[in-house]
Structures are given as structure tokens and as C-alpha cells.
Amino acid sequence: MRGITPWKVAVGLTAVALAAAGCSSADPVEPEKKDGSFIISWSEPQNPLIPAGTSETQGGVVIDALFTGLTSYAAKDAKTEMANAESITSADNGKTWTVKLKSGWKWHDGTTVTAKNYVDAWNYGAYSPNGLINGTFFADIDGFADVHTEDPDGEEGPQKAPTPAAKEMKGLKVVDETSFQVTLGAPSNLWPIKVGYSAFMPLPDAFFKDPAAFGQNPIGNGPFKLSKWTKNTELVVTRFDDYQGAEKPKVKDVIFRVYTDDAAAYEDVKNGTIDFQQQVPSAKLVGNLYKTDFADRSSNKPISSSAFIAMPTWLPGYNDPNIRKAISMAIDRQLVIDKIFNGTRIPMNGWVNPNMSGYKADVCGANCKFDATAAKALWDAAPVKPKDLSLAYNGDASHKGWVDAVCGSITNALGVPCVGKPFPTFGEFRTLVTTEKMTGMSRAGWQADYPSIENWLNPLLKTGASSNDGKFSDAAFDAKLKEADGTADLAAAEKLYQDAEAMLPNLMPTIPLWHSSQQTVWSEKLDTVVINTFGELDLASVTVK
Amino acid sequence: MGRYALRRLLQAIPVFIGSTFLIWFLVWGLPGDPFAGRCGERKCPDAYVTYMTDKFNLDEPLYVQYLIYLKNLLTGNFGQTFNGTEIGDLLAQAFPISIKLALVAVVAEALIGITAGVLTGLRRGSFIDNLVLVSTLVLIAVPIFVIGLVARYALGLSSVSPDAPFVELIIPGIILASGSMAYITRLTRVNLVENRRADYVRTAVAKGLTPSRVTGVHLLRNSMIPVVTWLGLDLGALMGGAIVTEGIFNIRGIGGLLFGAISRRESGIVVSIVAILVLVYLIVNLLVDLLYGVLDPRIRYE
Amino acid sequence: MSSPEVATATSPTEPPAAPVTPAAAEPAPRKEKSRGLWSDAWYELRRKPLFVVSAILIAFFVLMAAFPQLFSSVDPGYKDLNRSLTPPDFGAWFQFGQGGQFGYDVQGQDIYARVIYGARASIVVGVCAVLGNMLLGGFFGILSGYLGGWIDSVLARFGDVFLGLPFVLGALVILSTFAPVQSNPSAFRITSLVILTFIALGWPSFARIMRAAVLSTKQLDYVHAAKALGAKPGRIIFRHVLPNAVAPMVVVGTITLGGYIGAEATLSFLGVGLREPVVSWGIMIGDSRQYMEPAPYMMAFPAAFLVIAVLSFVMLGDAVRDALDPKLR
């Protein structure tokens, strides 16, 4: 690692020099110059700050500040908007896409954002030896299989993943400085929506000179640039004055301060030491204490994450939709929510989160409503039933409370013993789930990657899909999804996805439980506060007093 | 004495290796894959797990991993965290803050503890003596997190700013020091009481020295030796022992770093911090022993 | 004998196992028979109010740990979400069989019952850890003191390996390593893990005390005489060495016991010590930390019991030390 230090210095110096030059020469005319700053409670990201290498929220919120992708989701309604892209068009029903970039966009180091930056970044992200956490997001692109190989006998096996045959996906082609062409493996009308996800953000040439150093000192093309990162203490981003996006930041600095203890952070927002806490500690939900403390400086908003129960559909009894319906109707969702979650979950009646475009209310109907008698009747009528019920979960997060409560509800309604079954770590739990070793129900959760109904059906319920924990499979449902995937017109496609979802109440592939909400508080200093669909503070629109 | 010091230094090497290997074995020997659970609700991509496993040599046997770590450590390279941060940078950032906090605590316990100790030691059996004795017991008995939480939330104190200026560290420092303060008081008191009956004090009084001179020059100076030693050792202990206090006041020292690292299974950080703390312990121990020989001529090291 | 170590007891509350311990400045009671020392001490102790008070309190806590049913008829594990965070009912204080004296916690569990049942875990952890330390530390102390030479050096360095780790830190690492192995462990397993951790980190201090006692006794004329007469090592150790080491061990043991009760609370507070289904004061305090504002009683009662228990043991140790230390008499 001795090689890293000189690079760090070199990159740092050029960045400073260029930034200084940019300031003195361009000096954009600003009618109202706001030099304010504010502080957000934060914790250290788990991965280097590279868009395709960050999947958790703490790193994600900084990536979103530093980088802007082709499209972005409007903070208010999650509608997809063109960001760095001028246009994304397809002439052949979503198989080949032509991306045209807006001109004049600059990286924080002063170089121009080009089509090549995108193609290079995507190829790097997809190449499996680079080991990026979001690598599989590029799986739609033609030629992904050539650059991304899997370990043939799993992690534990002696064999290693073979080196991929190619370094670049054949589906990506740079046309000229500001446009490139993407060929997908199969048609998808959702491509413009998907590319708004941070995995698809571009990388400057500086990245490829030293990826490791870049992860510690990223250079982006977004509304803010990184100005200081004191590890384990705080990270400061400063407004990038050359930013070409629609919404320019109204403040100069945003400071992300590391907190180990969320109770300490809450107190600090309360006394004005810092300005924003995305999720208040659960104790402050008791009796809505946070509302007493903050009144109109708080929000309570549903977020794009939901909980389900996955059913082992390969086992006798569980393969009967009526059994699954009976279990679903035996769960008193509202009572569990009130007592265990202080009312911070919202009962689900469908398979799609309400923050998604294409969401329809009450899809599941009576099958997802608590009705002990009907549940018992359905259960008793079933020819084959599971002997005893169990609900597996990972013991390293706080699931015990609700799992026990849900099981209690099922036991009371059906008269069948149901026990919670903890597994020590999430890793172990997931391994058992994915290898079909579960002997009963298991908990499942899903958080949207991009705000579309499709993201809740294809990855979760299609035959053989990556997160189809229950190995659910239904030919008619798959055919409907396929039809929707191949429909170019977005609105028509959405309609078809809704039709597919409407088939689910009878099939009951998984049991929807509830979706989460988030309670956010901020200090008196913040004026305009918009919480986006991912529950994050929209940094660009914040104004300070 | 030089030979003694050398021998002690040589003996410290196996202790250092033993402690770090023990911790290494504990944190890396954990069953399960530290990367499998890092992708939220979905399975981590194979490529990511393979890459990280390779990068951190996790497919090697434990002792090989340890030897690699030790080799890097000797060249001053602490390795990297999972997010690519140099652990050396993290430590360089956190240690000064913890040292500052420990210094504040030691100064606080020295000032308050010695004063109380002298006061009670000179008036043995008085009301003040008993009062102080009982209150030191209470201080020892109340866990630090109770004192800290009550101070923080009942008094409405805010967290310490990132650069941790001395002024903001005073209250956390006093809280951190509360337990040791009680020990210092009792230690000072016991030594005063013992030495008061020593021959040299009797001689000094018989010589006709003023009481204040007897107390100030003869009694206090000799009674302070073990107290000073304790303070020295405590400085080392407080640096690593501030996990609770640092958490409550969001002080970005090594206590918080360590606690976070344990919960995120950032084993590299854990081992590195332990390595340094063990080193500090060994060096301080040696220094204290040597200092003892200097201060008390009756002790000789061959 | 002057050893370069400080002669004080340490407690494992923060600051953790700070430097180490009593190199037993205990001068061997040369002319007294051990019975004389103890009966003298007992005479001294009976007249000390601190001792009497702490002894009564400890008896009370031990009773509580052994027979919690005597104090409360409510099941400490029973959860009723409907009465979550009900404040203390002072009217119930004088009616046996009634719940809610100290209020109910978030899960709707009776705080009074939990405080009573919590005594067991705290005292079991403290007593077992100290006894284990005395046995293990005593054994190694005798080995190194009696045999001396390279065995002594090796054992001393081996002890340093554990002493070099700050107490809270070491316990944190050990517990977080072994705790998740089984996610639904029994109460016995959880408790014994904590006890074993305390023993692993604490034995070297006790070994040092024992070693010092052995060394000072070895020099005594009557031991030389016994050796010359052909007494076996076992006889020398049991007849001559152990009686001399008991006094410092008891003193340090009682004070350490108080410290361990506090340490258990600290670790449970950090989330790595005892866990459900064990009931302990530390767990209760840890659970209550975020509810200080809406429900201060959740922390106040277990914390008060914890402080009183630790205080009793430390006071007892203090009184015993005074009584056994002829210099301060």
C-alpha cells in the first residue's frame, strides 16, 4: 500500500488547483449568494465511495450528493426525470437504447463528462474480478455474462470463479463524445428508470488511474464536491459551482457528522448542535415524543421498504395457495404494528410499495385482512397441511419482537403451534433461504432500487428470480410479466404489471405484512425540507436560516 | 538497571504477540462470512464476496493471516478497513482525542482525588473523613454509564465537537475519572496514615520542624509515590476504557471507533487498537517499575 | 518485601482492570496463629457499623437471589403490551401479591418483579467469577510462587497477555465473539459465558496475590523447618501457605465481587453481556437508556438496586481489609 500515498497527494493537489482556477475564471453570477451550511447525523459508509460499489444508505446519501446519473427521481413524486442525459431513446421496443448527454457538464476536477465515462464506469462495475457490490445491476446489458462469472461450486467450494472472457460488454458502444448506445440482452422499457439508480453513475478518467485512492477521495459530477473527509468523524461536501443540473444547491456546505449513538444525535438535533436526523431513535416514538419535541420540524413518511413472509412452496402443505391464504388471514397486522412498532408500519394490502409508480391500493383484498374465522375455515378445509408452523429470522437484527407476535396471532387464529426460529447471522439465514434448506416460513424484506412496480414483481416473484425466496412459480403470471417487459409504452407496461399483480391474491406467493415509515426531525436552522422517496433529505433544495 | 530494562523489553515481545494473536483469533475466527450480510436484504453478489475474501486473505489459515498482519504491522502498515480507509489514518485521528480525554481525566482525578485524600488522611476519624470515605464508595459503586447518562440527559449537555477542544472535554473527563478519583482518594489517605507513623516523620517532628513543613516536604512527598504510579498506569487504562463515555458524548476517540468496529465486524480495526493498547500497557508498566526504582532507593533491579 | 507494584485493589468498572493489583503488602502475621487473626478481626468487625450494615444488606440480596418468590409473586418474564410503560403504583407497595410497584417497562413487564429476579443473575455472576478467579488464580499463583524459575516467568508473561487487555475492551471482544454462535442460547449458557469471560480476564490479578503470599511464606523459619523435617509440598502449601494467603484473597475478592456486579451491568448496557431470557439489572438499565424521559422509573429502580448491591460488597471488603490489616488497626 506504499504506492497510495503519493497518488493521494497528487490527486488532492490537482483538485485544489483546478477548483481554485474554476472559481476565479468562471465566477458565475448569483443573485442571492447563500453561504450557509448544515450538519446531518451520519455514520461511516461500509464501502469505498464508488457509485457501483455502494449499496447501503450512509454511503448512498453521499454518492447522491457527489454524482448525478443519466436520470434522477423527482424528490416529491419519484417521477423519472432526465438529469445528465438529454434523451434516452429506443427505436426497437426497448432492445437498443441511444443515450444522448447534455453538453457542458463538468467533473469536479474540471474535465468534461463524456459518453466514454459512462461506458467505462459500467464496464468496470460489471467486471466480476473488481468485486463491486452492485455489479449485478448491469446484468440486463448484452454481454454481461462475458465479463461477470460466478463461483461454480459456491463460496465454500475449492474452485474459484474463472476469469471472465472479456473485459468489456459488447452491448455498450460509444458513438461520439456525448452519445452512446446500449444493447440489452432482452427488451426492457424500464431502462430509463433503472439508470437513475446510483450503480449507473459515471466515473471520471481520474478513477481508472487509481480506483482505491478514488474511493477515499471521489471526484463526481454532482451538485456537491467532496471537500474534506476526516475518517470516523465527519465528511464535508461543498457546492460545485459549475454544476449544470436543474436544481442547484442553495447552501455552501453540507456536513455529515458521524454518530455512534442515535440517542446522542437526537439530543443534538434538539439542542441545535446538528440539524438533521433521518430516523429518530425508537424510544422517541413512544407517545409520539418526537412530535412534542419538534412539532412542525418533524415528518412521518412511508418509505420504499416492505416486509413479507416467504413460503417454502416446494414443501407439501405450503404448496397449497389456500393454506397460504389462511396463514395470511390469520395475522392481525394492525395489532402487531400498534404494539410492537408503535404504529410506525403501515399494513400492506398488495405486493407493491405505495411509493412506486404503478402502485394500486387494496390489491390483495380480504386475503390480506385479519379474519380469524375465515382463516380457520380455509385451514381446516385444506387436504394436506403442514404439521407445525415456524417462522425463521436472523437473530442479529431486531426481528424477534414482531416474529413472536405474528406467530402468536397465527397460533391463536388457526390453533396450530407456530414458533419463531432465529438464526444467528443474516449471512447464515440467507444461505439457508437461497439453498432451499428452510423447513418452514421465513421472513423477507425488500427495498426498492428504483421507484417502479416492476422492481417489486420481477426480482421477487418471477420463476427463478434472484430474490424469489419461496421458489414461487406460476406460468400465467410469468407470461404476463414477460408481456409487460416487452411493452415499449411505459403507461401500457405499467397497466400490464398491475394486471400481473392482480393475479397474486389467488396465488398468495408470499404474505405481505407491512411497509415501513420513517420519522425524521430537523433543527430550526433548516427552512425548506424535502424528504425524497428513498427517505433521504433532498440536499439541493434545502435552505437555511 | 539497563540490563533489567532490556530483559523486560525482551519479555514484552511474547506478551505482545500473545495478546494480539489472542484477539486476532477471537475476532477473525468467528464462524460465518463477514461479508455475506453486508448487502441489506439481498444476497451479496458472489464477485463481491470473492473479491473481499481475497483482499483480506480470509481463505488462508488463521495463523497465516496473522503472520501477514504481523509482517505488515512491523512495517507500520495497519491494513485497511472494508471501506478502503487506511486503519493507520483512523488511529492517527482517534488516538489524540482519546489521549486528550484521558489527560483531562487524569488531571481531574489527581486534583480532586489527592486533595480529598490529604484532607481525610490528615484528619483520620473525623466527620469529613467518614463522609469522604462513604462518598468514594458510592462513586466506585455507581457504574459510569449511569453517571454519564444522567449528566448528559438530565443536564441537557450537547455532544463534544469533532475536534474535541479541551474545554468541552472537562465534564466527560470528570465523569470518566469518577471511579479512579475514589481510588486516588483512598490510596492517598492510606499512604498518609501509614507514613505518619514512620520513623522519619517522627524524627522530623522531634527536630522541631513546623507541622506544615513536616506534612508538605516529608509526609506528602513520600506518600505520593504510589499515587503517581497509579496515575501513570491509569492514563493508559483510561485510553481504552472510555468506550461508554465516548459513546454518550459522541467523542470520536478510540473507544467509539472500537465499539463501532466490533459491531460492524471490522476486525482489522479491533486488532490494531488492541495491539496499540497492549503496547502502551507494557511500556507504561515498564516505565512505572523503573520510575519506582528511581523514586525509592530501597528498590534495586539487578 | 517491596514489590514495585502498587498495593491497592482494582475494580473492573471503568477504568477497567487498571494496573494490577495487590502485590499483597500484607506482612505475614508472624507471631499470631491464623485463628488469632480471624477472631481478632471478627471482634473488630462486629463493632463497625459499615460492616454490620453491609452484611445485613448482602444477606438480604442473597436471600433475594435464592428465593425471589418470597418477594414477588409476579412472573418477571410475562409481557403484556397493553400495560407498557405504566408508571409506578405506590399504592401497591404495601400489598403483597400485587404487581406494578415500580411500574411496567416497554414490553409491559413488571419492573419490581424483574428487579427482584435480577438479583440472582448479578450475584451469581459476581460470586462465581470471583470464586473461579480465586481457584484458577490461586492455582497458578502457587505454581509460580512455589516452583519459581522459568515456570514463574512463563506464567507471569502468560498472565500479562490477559492483563494487557483493558477489561471492558477484552470482555467486549470475547463476548461478541462467542455470543452469536447460538442465537437462542439458554440462560445457563449466557450466564456462564459472562462468568468465564470475567475469569479469563481476572485470574492473573489473583495469581499475583497468591504468588506474593507464597513467596513471603516460603522465607519463614517454620516453613524452612517443616521442609527440613521432610514435609511434602502439598502439606506445606495447605498447612502454611494457604492460611496466609486467605486474608488478602478475601479482601480483594469482596471488593472485586462488587466490581464484577457493576461490570456485568456495563457490559449488558453495551449489549454484549447477559441477554434475554436472563433477567439482570444491567439488561434492565440497558433497555431503559432511551426511555429516560418518558419513563425514568425504568432506569431508576434497577440502578438503585445495583448501586446498593455493589456498595454493600465494596463496603464489606473495605471493613474486612481494615480488620485484617494490622498496620491500620
What ipTM was assigned to the predicted interfaces of this complex? Answer: 0.81
Min mean pLDDT across A45-59, A319-333, C6-20 is at C6-20
pLDDT given at position A153 = 62
CB C262 within 8 A of CB C306: yes
Mean pLDDT check: name the lowest of A361-370, B235-244, C124-133.
B235-244
DSSP run (H or E) holding B10: helix B2-28
Cell of A320: 397449497
Beta-carbon pairs below 8 A across chains A and C: 32
- Which residues in chain B (243-282) have CB-CB distances under 8 A to chain A? 246-250, 252, 256-257, 259-260, 264
What span, in angstroms and rounded, lies between the C-alpha atoms of A354 and C128?
55
Give the 3-state DSSP-derived string for chain B, with helices as H, strands as E and coil as C: CHHHHHHHHHHHHHHHHHHHHHHHHHHHCCCCCCCCCCCCCCCCCHHHHHHHHHHCCCCCCHHHHHHHHHHHHHCCCCCECCCCCEHHHHHHHHHHHHHHHHHHHHHHHHHHHHHHHHHHHHCCCCHHHHHHHHHHHHHHHCCHHHHHHHHHHHCCCCCCCCCCCHHHHHHHHHHHHHHHHHHHHHHHHHHHHHHHCCHHHHHHHHHCCCHHHHHHHHHHHHHHHHHHHHHHHHHHHHHHCCHHHHHHCCCCCHHHHHHHHHHCCCHHHHHHHHHHHHHHHHHHHHHHHHHHHHHCCCCCCC
CATH of the domain at C184: 1.10.3720.10
Q: Say whether pLDDT at A31 is over 50.
A: no
Q: What is the rounded average pLDDT of the residues A143-162?
A: 74
Could you give the CA distance from residue A538 to residue A246 in angstroms, rounded to a whole number? Answer: 13
Of chain B residues 28-57, which have a CB less than 8 A from chain A? Answer: 32-33, 35-55
Can you tell me which residue has the cell 417502479? A452
Least confident of A64-73, A270-279, A384-393, B121-130: B121-130
Contact A298, A431 (CB under 8 A): no
Q: Is B285 on the interface with A (CB under 8 A)?
A: no
In a domain, C298, yes or no: yes
Cβ of C177 within 8 Å of Cβ of B27? The answer is yes
The subunits that touch chain A, with at least 3 C-beta pairs less than 8 Å apart, are B, C
DSSP three-state, residue C254: helix
Q: Which residues of chain B make contact with C19, given a CB cutoff of 8 A? A: 229-230, 233-234, 237, 285, 288
Q: What is the pLDDT of residue C14?
A: 36
**Are the CB atoms for B26 and B262 separated by under 8 Å?**
no
Preceding omega of A48 cis (within 30 degrees of 0): no
Q: Tell whether the model's pLDDT for residue A282 goes beyond 50.
A: yes
Report yes or no on C127 lying in a domain.
yes
On whether residue C119 sits in a domain, the answer given is yes
Does the CB of B83 have a partner CB in chain A at under 8 Å?
Answer: yes
Q: What is the mean pLDDT of chain A?
A: 85
Spatial distance between the Cα atoms of B9 and B13, rounded to a whole number of angstroms: 7
**Half-sphere exposure in the Cβ direction for B198 (13 Å, CA):** 17
Under an 8 A CB cutoff, do B143 and C266 touch?
yes
The answer to the question of residue C8 being in a domain is: no
pLDDT at residue B33, as a whole number = 66
Question: Which chain C residues are closer than 8 Å to B296 by Cβ?
Answer: 2
Residues of A in contact with B86 (CB under 8 A): 1, 4
Would you call C1 helix, strand, or coil by DSSP?
A: coil
- C50 lies in some domain: yes
Cα angle A83, A87, A90; round to 5: 135
Residues 6+ away with beta carbon under 8 Å from A115: A99, A101, A174, A175, A176, A177, A178, A179, A180
Whether residue C277 has a cis bond before it, omega within 30° of 0: yes
When mean pLDDT is compared across B15-29, B254-268, B282-296, the lowest value belongs to B282-296
Q: Residue A425: which of C180, C289, C294 has the nearest Cβ? A: C180
Q: Could you tell me if residue C237 is inside a domain?
A: yes
C16–B237 CB contact, under 8 Å: yes
- Does the beta carbon of B14 lie under 8 angstroms from any beta carbon of chain A? no
Confidence of residue B299 (pLDDT cuts 50, 70, 90): low
> What is the per-residue DSSP string for C78-122?
---GGGTTPPP-GGGGGSTT---TT-B-TT--BHHHHHHHHHHHH
Element (H, E) at A400: helix A400-414
Closest CA of chain C from B189, distance in Å: 11
Distance from CA of A393 to the nearest CA of C (A): 10
Q: What are phi and psi of A183, to 5 degrees?
A: -105, 125
B293: closest chain C residue by CA: C4
Kindly give the interhelix angle for C187-218 and C149-163, rounded to the nearest 10 degrees.
Answer: 140
Residues 6+ apart with CB under 8 A from A536: A57, A60, A61, A64, A278
**Within the 478-497 window of chain A, which residues sit less than 8 Å (CB to CB) from chain C?**
none
Dihedral of CA atoms A41, A47, A53, A59 in degrees, nearest 10, equals 0
User: Which of A47, A257, A268 faces B83 most closely, judged by CB atoms?
Assistant: A47
Residue of A nearest to B158 (CA): A268
In chain C, whose CA is at the least distance from the CA of A288? C294
- Domain holding C291, by residue range, is 38-92+99-328
d(CA A278, CA C203): 46
Answer whether residue A99 shows pLDDT above 90: yes
Domain assignment present for residue C114? The answer is yes
Pairing of strands A253-258, A441-447: unpaired
pLDDT in tens, chain C (329 residues): 333 333 333 333 333 333 333 433 444 444 444 556 677 777 777 778 888 888 999 999 999 988 888 888 788 777 666 777 788 877 766 666 667 778 888 777 888 889 999 898 888 999 999 999 999 998 998 888 888 788 888 888 888 888 877 787 788 888 877 766 555 667 888 889 899 999 998 898 888 888 887 887 777 788 888 888 888 878 877 877 777 777 778 778 887 888 888 888 888 877 778 877 788 888 888 778 777 777 888 888 988 898 888 888 888 887 887 777 655 44
Residue A240 pLDDT: 93
Mark yes or no for CB contact A286/C291 under 8 Å: yes
pLDDT digit string, tens, across residues B38-95: 776 666 777 888 888 888 877 778 888 888 888 888 888 888 888 888 888 888 888 8
Look at residue A84 in the predicted model and tell me its pLDDT: 93
Sort out which chain C residues have CB atoms less than 8 A from B146's CB and list them: 285, 299, 303, 306-307
pTM summary value: 0.80
Residue among B41, B49, B77 whose CB faces A445 most closely: B41
What residues of chain B lie within 8 A of the CB of A234, using their CB? Answer: 162
pLDDT, position A159: 66
Q: Are strands A441-447 and A298-310 parallel, antiparallel or unpaired?
A: antiparallel
What total of structural domains would you count in chain C? 1
- pLDDT over 90 (residue A498): yes
From the CB of residue B153, how many other CB atoms can be counted at a distance below 10 Å?
18
φ/ψ of residue C297, rounded to 5: -65, -20
pLDDT of the residue at A226: 94
Whether residue C21 is contained in a domain is answered as no
* Other beta carbons less than 10 A from residue A163's beta carbon: 10
Question: Which site among A284, A286, A291, A399 would you substitute to test the C interface, given the most C Cβ atoms closer than 10 Å to its Cβ?
Answer: A286
